[in-house]
Amino acid sequence: MTVPRTDTPRRRQVVIVGSGFGGLFAAQRLKKADCDVTLVAKTTSHLFQPMLYQLATGIVAEGEIAPATRVVLQKQKNTQVLLGEVFDIDVENQIVRSQLLERVTDLPYDDLIIAAGADQSYFGNDHFAEYAPGMKTIDHALELRGRILGAFEQAELSHDPVEQQKLMTFVVVGAGPTGVEMAGQIAEMSDKTLKGAFRNIDPTNARVILLDAAPAVLAPFGEKLGAKAVKRLEKLGVEIQLNAMVTDLDYDGLTVRGKDGTERRIESQCKVWSAGVQASGLGSVLQEKTGVELDRAGRVKVGPDLAVPGYPNLFVVGDMMAVDGVPGVAQGAIQGGRYAADAIKAEITRGQTPEQRTPFSYFDKGSMATVSRFSAVMQVPIPGTKKKFETEGYFAWLGWLALHLVYLVGYRNRLNTLVNWFFAFSTRGRTQLAITEQQVYARSALKELTYLERLRVAEAEHKERRAADTASEAVAPDA
Tell me if residue 188 is catalytic. Answer: no
CA distance 380 to 469: 73
pLDDT tens digits for range 235-262: 999 999 999 999 999 999 999 999 999 9
Q: Which pTM does this prediction carry?
A: 0.87
CA distance 260 to 51: 36
CA distance 194 to 108: 53
Q: What is the pLDDT of residue 446?
A: 57
Instruction: Identify the weakest region by mean pLDDT among 25-34, 175-184, 421-430, 460-469.
Output: 460-469
SS3 of residue 241 by DSSP: strand
Mean pLDDT throughout 339-365?
Answer: 95
Q: Are 186 and 371 in contact (CB under 8 A)?
A: no
What distances in angstroms separate CA 27 from CA 18, 124, 311, 369, 465, one per listed residue?
10, 34, 20, 28, 51
Residue whose C-alpha is closest to residue 167's, from 157, 182, 152: 152
What is the pLDDT confidence band of residue 465, given thresholds at 50, 70 and 90?
confident
From 64, 181, 188, 347, the catalytic residue: 181
CA distance 167 to 163: 6
Tell me the chain's radius of gyration from C-alpha atoms.
Answer: 25
Beta bridge partners of 206: none
Helix axes 394-407, 411-426, angle to 10 degrees: 150
- pLDDT for residue 356 is more than 60: yes
Burial (0-12, 13-18, 19+ Cβ within 10 Å), 476: exposed
